[in-house]
Structure formats: structure tokens, C-alpha cells
Amino acid sequence: MEHQHKHQCTHEHPSAHEHHHEHAESHDKHAGHHTADFLKKFWISLIITLPIFFYSEMAKEVFNVRGPEFFGWQYVLLLLGSVMYFYCGWVFLQSAYAELKARLPGMMTLIAIAVTAAYGYSVFSILSGGMHDLMFELASLIAIMLLGHWIEMKSVMGAQGALKELSKLLPDTAEVVRGNLTETLPLTDLRVGDIVLIKPGSKIPADGRVIEGQSNVNESILTGESKPVQKHAGNEVIAGSINGEGSLKVEVSTIGEKTFLAGVMRLVADAQSSKSRLQMLSDRAAFYLTIVAIVGGGITFVAWLLAGAGTLTAMERMVAVLVITCPHALGLAVPLVAAISTTMAARNGLLIRERVALEGARKIDTVLFDKTGTLTKGEFGVVSVTSDEVLALAAAVETHSEHPIGKAILKEAQKRRLKIGEVRDFNTIAGTGAEAKVDGVSVFVGHRGGKDIVVEKSGVQIGTIVIADIVRPEAKEAVAKLKQAGIAVAMITGDSEEVAKEVAKELGIEEYFARVRPAEKSEKVKLLQSKGRIVAMVGDGVNDAPALAQANLGIAIGAGTNVAIESAGIILVKNDPRDILKIFNLSRLTYNKMIQNLFWATGYNVVAIPLAAGVLASKGIILQPWLAAVFMSASTVIVAINAVLLKNKHI
């Protein structure tokens, strides 16, 4: 039966295909190292630092203590310092070499310069019989750096723990049906087209389509939907979801990297490896600080020599500059916040594909919703009907129809538990409707020129049925909350003006675009942007892809669609438009934390570097190397603590 109904659905789903995401090449300062390595070397460095401390200027000046001086004690100090430099500090020297080889000098290069300068100065001082050394500065710098990098790597690993948890969702084996027998095979041996038996309570091993059986499937871990989903022949199932009480036979449709679960894992991994604008800014700052350290240290050394100071004094000033310039806090400022925010997002049903997207979300002032499948369920439902008699007669005729509208009418009648009469002589009237005899009485269901469905009994109209795409209950709340937050809401659809107006009115949306073809959706986004508006596009289908890409922020409803992976920056796993407000809240919280950390990480350098160089030496103010190390270490700890505090925020 063909109805000319009031709602024309333009939503399409793309076919599955493997997603390939390429990252720009970048150097990983932690490459080749493990979290445990940093922790082990930190404890060793801490043990070595303790005896070195008692022979330091800090112990003497601040605590008025001094270690016992025995024959050859200076050489014992040199030995301990050498262990610190060549063993504990080797990770930084190695990473600095990799940075320089890649022509990307950064924070590891600066750390290496600082510790090398401190060690070289100390060796020269001890072997030449000097009274001062920087072994404590060397030891404390390495110890703090090891601790800081361990904190950073631990946090990043914690954020990536979601990937490990996701991987645990899949079973190790699958029961493949071979004729009348079943064979247990490793998951890696599954092929597209295989029939697998899913027993009650077991995990579904691959994406597929149910061909036999009926059961409730728990998809909450993957989609966030707490209510088990009814599955029967023809329904799709997701790898990693848990079968209920019934048995299912599933034809495998997708395996390996093409599965929904693999796509989710890929999104999380991509988010962890991607960089925000602020992180890229911090990387550039580290590069320039390297230049500042080398040039500033050289100028400081020469200036003190020209001022008549001795070589050791000039070297001491230079080392102080190099130590204070060390940007570990800067390197920690953004990545740690980003790792924590990505984890928070995943726990709240948000998959961040690009950190840049999350960072920019705070600026959004307009949200443009696709209607079908986003604000609405993408399925027809009975909005109103004249009477139960009208509905029962229409449902009887529609028992022989496969049309979505016919199914909606029948579903509503079954929901109301109406008695459906015996149907004979069913006939489809192309472009109009259908007719049949129900309990011997002629009944017509269809259109007579109007937008509503007409029901006629024995040639006389007895009532009408209004059919529409069902509005998501959560969509109303989402629109209301967005407007309350001062964000404008608009809607775009390929449906008629009447349908668009009706849905917009129901949701409280004043601005909408109707009769928009898929290819024209991106033009409407451009139109809003031309008015100076910063637009987030929310969609779920392949026809939304150009608009998602054009928008300042693309948000996809449903993580299972390939278009979401390709076109959107952020994915709503729970298919809940109310989560959009969480994106904006998390974006603001994340950005504020990053700015706070960047301000602290760079701000102290502005003050400390001139003091370390000795610009106020004439006034008796000189920043000693040991104090420079303390300031640098303190900034690192403050940045780390400030980042971790983000976990306590609610979005």
C-alpha cells in the first residue's frame, strides 16, 4: 500500500565500511618508556638525593645542616651524581636525542640541557677543587622530573583504561553453526556470513543480524541504554552486548576492525592521541623556551664574565637560567587535563573524536538539529484518531500492508488491544491507499486530498487518523535546557513546511528550515555562520555528513554510524540530545583548567628567568640554582594537582 502521508523521511544510513584515520606525524616524548620505569627510577633517585641533600647549599642556608666531611667525600658525591645523571636521567637524555633527531626540540631537550649543565658544572667544580657544586640541583631536578612524568603517564594510561575495558567485552570464542552441529572457534577465525549460536547469558561475539530466535539483549555498556532491547529475526545485534534469556542464531555481518565496538575503541584512541589547539600552543612554547634557554643561558654566561665574575660564578648563573627555563610544568599543563577530560566524557556517554572539537565547543551559540532520527525517533506513530472503531477498521486493512504507516496503525491498535476483524479482498490503490472487506463490510484507508489519513466505511467517511514521526521525549528537555543556557536552537528537515512547523512548535523551536535537500543542508549551516553565529550541527545520517563537516562543531547521534566517525567531532553514544549540554559544560571546564595551567606554567618563568640571570644582582637579589629547581618543581606539582581537581567537577 502506498500512502501519500504528511511525513517524508529523508534519513539514510550508510553501509558499513572500514574507517581509516590518519594522524599528523608527531614525536612522542615517552616513546620507548614504560610507566613502571619512571616510577622505579624515581624511587632510586629519591634515595640517592637524600645523602646529596646534606652537602647542598640548600641544607646549609635553609636548614643549617651539613653532612660530615671525610677523606674523598667530594668523590663520593661525584659518584652519586654520576649515577643520577647516567642512570636515572638517561630517559631524558634519550628522549632529547630523539627530539633533536626529529628536529623538534622541546621539553625533553630542555630537561637534558638543564641536567647536563648542572652535572658538567658540578664535575668541573669538584675536580678543580671548587667550593660549590650543583649535585643537589641535578638530583632534585631529575627526581622531580621522573615523578612528574610518572604522574603524566599514569593519568594518560588511566584515561586509556577505557580501551582495555572495552576489549574485555568480547568473548574469546564463538559457537559457529555447521549444519546440525556447532563448533567452538576462536574469535579471530570468524568470517562474515558465519552463523553463530548465542546462548542465554552469553556475550555476542560479532556484529550481525538475527536470523532465528527471540531474546532481550543488554546493550547498556555500549550504548548507555539501560533497558534491554528486544531482538528477533531481522534485528541487528552488536558485538560485546549480553544476551538475555532466549537463544539466538546470528549471521555475522561485520568482524574485526569494522565492528561497532572496534569503532568505539578507535574513537577513544583517536581522541587520546589527537591534540587540541592549546596543546599545540604549549608544544610551540616549549620549542621557543628551548631557544630562550640556550640563548639566555649563553648571554648570561658571557655577561657575567664581562662583568668580571669568575668562570664558576658565570656557569652557576647560566645553569640557574637553564634550570628555571625547564618547561616540564608546561608539558604537563595541557596533556594531563586533556586525558582527564576525555575520560570524563566517555563516562558521560560522549566520545571525543577530536580534542579540538571539545576545546571549541564552549564558543557555540547555535545548535542546529536534524529532525528525523535526532529530534524524532525516525519512525511513524499515531498522533490522534477519531475513535477506537476507526483505528480497529484501519488496522484490519493494514494487516496486509508492509508500508511503515500501515505498520504504525496496526501497532497502535495492538497497543490498545483492539479486536481486529476478518479481512478479505484486500486491494492496494496506488498513490492513494488501500481497501478491503472487514467482517464483510467495505473499508477504505488512505488519502482523499488532505494531509490526514481518511477511514471510510461503506463509502462513508467515519473518521481520520493523524500520523507523524514520533518526537523523542528527551528532545523537548534538551531544547528547553539549551535555550535556558542562552544557546539558540534551530531545526532542519527535508519534510514539508507543515510537518516542520508542527514539530518545531511541539519542541518550542522558533527557527527552522523545511524542504531542505541533503545536499543543501550544509548551505543552511553556512547561512547561519554568515550571520556571525557559531554553529553546532547535530545529525545521525549520511545525508547530514556535509552539514556536520561544515559546522563549527559536528555532533553525531549514535556511535554506530560510519558517518559519525567520518564527519563529526563528538559522538553521543546514548543517542540522547540532552547530552549536548554536557559537551558545552565539559568544554568550558576543560578550557579553564588548561588556561590556568598554562598561565602558571609560563608565568613563573617570566619572573624567575631574569632573577636567575642576575638582573637584580646589584640589589642583592640572586636566584640560586637550588632555589630555581625548587620553583620549577613546585610549578610542576601545582599544575598536576590543578589538573586532577577536574575529576571532582560535575558536567
* pLDDT for res 24: 34
**Per-residue burial over 103-132, b = 16 or more CB atoms within 10 Å of its CB, e = otherwise:** ebbbbbbbbbbbbbbbbebbbebbeeebeb
Q: How many CB atoms lie within 10 A of CB 147?
A: 22
Rounded CA-CA distance 633/61 in Å is 19
Band of the pLDDT at 22, cuts 50, 70, 90?
Answer: very low
**For the ranges 16-25, 317-326, 396-405, which has the lowest average pLDDT?**
16-25
What is the pTM assigned to this prediction?
0.62
Under the banding of pLDDT at 50, 70 and 90, the label for residue 19 is very low
Residue 370 a catalytic site member: yes
Torsion on CA atoms 212, 213, 219, 225, rounded to nearest 10? 110
**Kind plus residue range of the DSSP H or E element containing 167:** helix 161-167
> Average pLDDT, whole number, for the chain?
80
User: What is the tens place of the pLDDT at every residue in 451-503?
Assistant: 678 999 998 999 998 887 788 889 999 999 999 999 999 999 877 787 788 88
pLDDT of residue 11: 34
| Cell 488501500, residue located | 434
Residue with cell 565547543: 361
Give the rounded percent of residues in the chain with a pLDDT score beyond 90.
26
pLDDT band at 382 (very low <50, low <70, confident <90, very high): confident
Q: What is the pLDDT of residues 99-118, one digit of tens each?
A: 888 887 877 887 888 889 88
pLDDT bucket at 258, cuts 50 / 70 / 90:
confident
Least confident of 50-59, 67-76, 165-174, 572-581: 165-174
In the chain, the N- to C-terminal Cα span, in Å, equals 48
Highest mean pLDDT (candidates 68-77, 129-138, 220-229) = 68-77
Please report, as a single letter, which amino acid is at residue 41: K
C-alpha cell at 513: 528550515
What grid cell was written down for 482? 539549551
CA distance linking residue 435 with residue 61, whole number of Å: 101
Distance CA(568)–CA(587), nearest Å, equals: 16
Q: Is the CB of residue 184 less than 8 Å from the CB of residue 174?
A: yes
* CA nearest to 508, candidates 494, 525, 489: 489
Specify the pLDDT at position 224: 39
Rounded Cα distance, 594 and 571, in Å: 23
Q: How many residues does the chain have?
A: 651
Give Rg (Cα) of the chain.
34
Q: Which of 270, 370, 544, 576 is catalytic?
A: 370
Residues 6+ apart with CB under 8 A from 47: none
Segment of 196-205, 424-433, 619-628, 642-651 carrying the highest mean pLDDT? 196-205
Q: Read off the pLDDT of each residue in 36-64 and give the average, rounded to a whole number.
A: 87
Secondary structure letter of residue 84 according to DSSP: I
